[in-house]
Amino acid sequence: MTKTGSNWGPLVILMVNMFITMVGMGLIIPILPKFITEFGASGQDMGYLVAAMGVTQLLFSPIAGEMSDKYGRKIMIVGGIGVFALSQLLFGLSGQMWLLYVSRLLSGIGAALLTPAMMAYVADITQEKDRGKGLGLFSASMSLGVVIGPGIGGFLADYGLRVPFYVATAIAGVSVLLSMLFLPETQSREARQVARTAERKRENLFKQLLSSFRAPYFVLLLLVFMLTFGLMNFEAVISLYVDVKHGFTPKDISLMITLGALAGVFTQAVLFERLLRRFSERQILIAMFLLSAVMMLAVLVTKTYVSVFAVTILFFVATTIIRPAVNTLLSKMAGNEQGFVAGMNNAYMSLGTIAGPSIAGVLFDVNVNYPYVLGAAFMVASTAMLIGWKERSRVGSTAPLQEGAAAVRD
């Protein structure tokens, strides 16, 4: 397909697919406390369920990226949304706990198949001058899905706890049909043949992670992990926490999470650029990490729905500002290693997605307050790392970037 600035039809289909996937990921959150009681499950089980998706997404993403080059974007996109539809149906039909885990692992595979192929598709159909706009719209569909997912899940649960998963399955099925019928392949047959015959040596994920330890931006990658850990630590058990401690309903929980996330998205879209004009990225990060820590501790002392609501909104606002600030610093320090840094950013996010909910679930069974104490400690530690890293980062300039690039290549 020829790249054109006005070829936005396929992009709309991509955005619908990604939106559906993100909605499906998020709608589970307000439903889980009530849903897993049917299986006699614990907070630990809930944490592991949320984390399971991150495991397969981490493992399959690098493979899926290569497969989209070798076999085309369309087949990966259709396959990814199909696997996701299957995972939602399996979750809704499950009568045993192990099937819930299988469902979440399948969700991770579906997301891993989708994301690299979709990003490559956007690059295929846009000229360089329009690519930022295309990727921005694509990212917006992801964010909107994340925001709306819990809300949809909570409101559909009024018709039955399994209804949201059946609805997600049906919508995903429609998305598969739309993609099969109207989404053209952008990777030429010749390009696919070249990719299949090319002998490219790809470092395994473990070696890539080791390389990142020696890079000058390692502290920033570590902050990505700690932010994701704290965010997922908060989200994974907040619905169970307010259900146990305050008796909130799925609708209460979905409204709280949805409006909190909306406030975060609004802040990122409207206020972040203004904050950057007045403060440095480091100043913003220190303030927001501290605010996140305070809000995680505030959860433990709030007693009314309104106060929990307010704390949740402030937490989401803080964490939503942190991510683009970290990404901006990472981009500035990456030099000619932008691709590697983007991959490592995703890897550290996945590790945080795995570790945060898992540990939060285990701690929740010991004491319902412990996940938030640990999350606050992570946010405070992140602030201390930023303060201590300041002087070392000034030493960086060009030399460390070159050393970091060399370390990546070694």
What domains does the chain contain, in order, with CATH numbers? 7-191 (1.20.1250.20), 205-389 (1.20.1250.20)
Q: Which of 271, 265, 298, 294 is nearest to 284 (CA)?
A: 271
Contacts of the segment 299-306: beta carbons below 8 A, 24+ positions apart: 299/234, 299/238, 299/241, 299/372, 300/369, 300/372, 300/373, 303/246, 305/246, 305/248, 305/252, 305/256
Give the separation between CA 82 and CA 363, rounded to whole angstroms. Answer: 35
Tokens of 10: 């396929």
CA–CA separation, 313 and 309 (whole Å):
6
Which pTM does this prediction carry? 0.70
Res 392 pLDDT > 60: no
- The crossing angle, in degrees rounded to 10, of helices 9-26 and 163-182 is 160
For residue 202, the model assigns a pLDDT of 59
* 19 vs 390 pLDDT, higher one: 19
Q: How far apart are the first and last CA of the chain?
A: 37
| pLDDT value for 395 | 37
Tens digits of per-residue pLDDT, 82-94?
Answer: 999 999 999 999 8
User: Tens digits of per-residue pLDDT, 135-155?
Assistant: 666 766 776 777 677 778 878
Q: What is the pLDDT confidence band of residue 288, given thresholds at 50, 70 and 90? A: very high
Separation CA 397–CA 401 (nearest Å): 7
Is residue 3 helix, strand or coil?
A: coil
Average pLDDT of the residues of the chain: 79
pLDDT at 377: 95
C-alpha 358: how far from chain center: 16
The rounded distance, in Å, linking the Cα atoms of 331 and 143 is 21
pLDDT recorded at residue 86: 95
One-letter amino acid at 120 equals: A
Q: Which residue has the higher pLDDT, 280 or 79?
A: 79
